[in-house]
């Protein structure tokens, strides 16, 4: 029974590791170490709850909800820490040394995302960057679909205004 559980967990980690890491990375502002910490904690919680979920789909929905919540908690904790330590000067931490593409542009995108409300950022990243459907995000965030759509609309408007040059870009700097 324990062996079966471990095998199931191995498969689950293998199939969700990359997407969960990418999602966490985007939600925590492009910090590799923080993203890995977030997904490790989420996987541990998934391991404990594995027996309660018979269907892979419901476990996955629950797991991504945990990832989003862990990332949210991490951002909140970081904000408090930086406020108190007085070290925050508008710079985003570590800004993904291992990411591909232009680091300055990446930092600008992270900063623009950080200016959105948590719900707007989560909805935007989940739907437009990670390809979740509105219905799935509604289940993940525990909010009505209409609210998710409203968050998406406002987030898109704010980002297009903040990153106007990227909005007008016709693909010159594609990676």
| Interacting span for other proteins (CB under 8 A) from 54-62, 71-79, 81-89, 114-122 | 54-62
**118 to 137: interface string for other proteins, x by CB under 8 A:** ---------xxx-xxxxxx-
Q: What CA–CA distance (Å, rounded) separates 128 from 97?
A: 24
Give how far Cα 14 sits from Cα of 17, 18, 21, 38, 138, Å.
Answer: 6, 8, 12, 16, 25
When asked if residue 47 is in the footprint of other proteins (CB under 8 A), the reply is yes
Q: How far is the CB of 54 from other proteins (least distance, A)?
A: 16
* End-to-end C-alpha distance for the chain, whole angstroms: 47
Q: Which residues of 8-152 form beta strands (DSSP E)?
A: none
Q: How many whole angstroms separate alpha carbon 141 and alpha carbon 156?
A: 18
Residue 126 per-residue DSSP state: I
User: Any contact of residue 72 with other proteins (CB under 8 A)?
Assistant: no
Contact region for other proteins (CB under 8 A) — 65-73, 76-84, 86-94, 102-110?
102-110
CB atoms under 10 Å from CB of 109, counted, come to: 19
Minimum CB separation of residue 79 from other proteins in Å reads: 20
Taking CB under 8 A as the rule, does residue 87 contact other proteins? Answer: no
Task: Output 86 or 171, the one with its CB closest to other proteins.
Answer: 171
Among 12, 27, 34, 35, binds other proteins (CB under 8 A): 35
Per-residue three-class SS string for 30-70: CCHHHHHHHHHHHHHHHHHHHHHCCCHHHHHHHHHHHHHHH
| Residues at the interface with other proteins (CB under 8 A) | 13, 17-18, 21-22, 25-26, 30, 32, 35-36, 40, 43-44, 47, 57, 60-61, 96, 98-102, 105-106, 109-110, 113, 127-129, 131-136, 149, 152-153, 156, 159-160, 163, 166-167, 169-171, 173-175
């Amino acid at each position: 029974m324990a062996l079966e559980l471990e095998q199931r967990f191995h498969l689950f980690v293998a199939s969700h590791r990359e997407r969960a890491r990418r999602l966490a990375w985007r939600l925590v502002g492009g910090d590799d170490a923080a993203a890995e910490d977030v997904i490790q904690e989420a996987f541990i919680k998934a391991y404990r709850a594995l027996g309660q979920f018979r269907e892979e789909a419901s476990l996955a929905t629950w797991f991504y909800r945990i990832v989003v919540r862990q990332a949210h908690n991490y951002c909140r904790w970081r904000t408090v820490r930086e406020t108190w330590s007085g070290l925050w000067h508008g710079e985003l931490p570590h800004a993904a040394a291992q990411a591909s593409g232009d680091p300055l542009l990446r930092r600008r995108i992270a900063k623009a995302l950080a200016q959105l409300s948590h719900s707007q950022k989560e909805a935007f990243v989940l739907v437009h960057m990670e390809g979740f459907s509105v219905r799935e995000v509604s289940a993940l965030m525990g909010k009505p679909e209409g609210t998710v759509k409203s968050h998406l609309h406002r987030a898109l408007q704010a980002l297009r205004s903040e990153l106007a040059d990227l909005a007008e870009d016709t693909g010159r700097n594609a990676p």
